[in-house]
Amino acid sequence: MGIAEPTITCPACGSAMPLTQSLAAPLLARTRGEYEARLASERAAIAAREAELALAREGLAAEVAAGVAAERARLGAEARAAAAAELAEARAALAARDAKLAEAQAAQAEALRQTRALEDARRELDLTVEKRVSEGVGAARLAAQAAAEEAMRLKVSEKEAIIAGMQRQIEDLRRRADQGSQQLQGDVLELDLEARLRRHFPVDTIERVAKGDSGADILQRVTGPGGEACGAILWETKRTRAWSDAWLPKLKADQRRTGAEVALLVSEALPKGVDGFDAVDGVWIAASRCAVPLAGALRQGLVAAGGARLAREGQATKMERVYDYLTGPRFRHRIEAIVEQFTALQDDLAAERKWMTRHWAKREMQIAGVLDATMGMYGDLQGIAGAALPEIGGLEPPLLPGADP
């Protein structure tokens, strides 16, 4: 059982209340009063601070407005002073001009008074004045015309320079466009050739080499009337403005790799001395207009050779097969590849021999220089030390024939 909380009797109403409630009420009332007083004080301080800030803003705005007005007044005064100075200078120049004009008018009046005395002198003077005025007007007109022509010439030169620069830019852009479209032009020529081959030789197999793979552009596998394989034609297309002799070795290497019997290069630029088509170093070269007719002729040769080879297949002995191989294009391609590689090796060997000869001569000169310097140093030391210097083998001079050792 808990202990009962002590109570106290309220003197006003006579009722009993707990002792803790009677003590906390005045303390809570006093704390609330202090908090409200402090809050009121802080609000008053905030209001005073806001009033100070408002006054500061008004003062700053007034100072800015006053500074702007002063600056405007100063600038206006300076502008008015500059305008007044310019006006004074203009007026002074006008006054000087009026004075000179007055002097000229007075001189002219004096001349007229003098000319009235003598009519002949007046007429002569008038004529002289008219001539001078005409000459002055003519000279002024010529000077103005020359100045206008010079200004026009400079403008025309400037326009011509601008036009020349624009033409150079146009040529540069056209050259870049041509360079950028060379690959596209080559693809167009290759696609056109492939379409013509498929159209003219529908029984043959036309294989196009994918981009990025090594080899030529198109491989045409010739098919005979009976469906037998008669050989292959390797095609390469070039659409450039200038001919390059480096194309032929590359196409021959591709021919050996693919085993094609015929290699044919179609190019817009032909080598010197070739008109339409011709065989150069074992490779057929043809213009685009002659490609299909030449392919037809070469294809007939392959078909005839394939038919003859097919007729001999069941009857040929090993010796005949060896003979066919030795007289065929594949053996010739192998020998050409060996000769080309041997020639390249021979050229490399000659270049290495020249380099080694030059290198050996340089080393011999360096070794001779070192030996000469060593012999000189040994002779100097031998002259200083005499017999006390021990002999060094290889540095002593050789004995003359018949001399005592």
pLDDT tens for each residue of 39-72 = 888 888 898 888 888 888 888 888 888 888 888 8
Which residues have a Cβ under 8 Å from the Cβ of 199 and sit 6 or more positions away? Answer: none
**pLDDT for res 6:** 60
Mean per-residue pLDDT over the chain, rounded:
77
Please tell me which of 17-31, 185-199, 254-268 the model is most confident about, judged by mean pLDDT. 254-268
369 token code pair:
């220089």
The domains of the chain are located at 35-117, 189-316, 317-378
Query: pLDDT tens, 78-131?
Result: 888 888 888 888 888 888 888 888 888 888 888 777 777 777 766 776 677 677
Query: pLDDT tens, 317-331?
Result: 555 665 665 566 665
- What's the pTM? 0.38
38 against 324, higher pLDDT: 38
16 against 119, higher pLDDT: 119
Average pLDDT in the 177-199 region? 72
| Euclidean distance between CA atoms 139 and 145, whole angstroms | 10
- Residue 275 · residue 222 · CB < 8 Å: no
- The confidence band for 364, taking pLDDT boundaries of 50, 70 and 90, is confident
396 against 359, higher pLDDT: 359
**pLDDT for res 187:** 72
Query: pLDDT tens, 366-386?
Result: 887 777 777 777 777 777 777
% of residues, the chain, pLDDT over 90:
1
Q: What are phi and psi of 6, to 5 degrees?
A: -65, 150
178 token code pair:
């041509």
Residue type, 332: R
Start-end of H helices in 118-235 = 119-200
316 against 210, higher pLDDT: 210
Which residue in the block uniquely carries the two structure tokens 């008669």?
230
Check whether 400 has a pLDDT greater than 50.
no
CA dihedral sign of residues 189, 192, 197, 198 = positive
| Euclidean distance between CA atoms 178 and 181, whole angstroms | 5
| Euclidean distance between CA atoms 162 and 167, whole angstroms | 9
Residue 236 DSSP label: E
Q: What is the CATH number of domain 189-316?
A: 3.40.1350
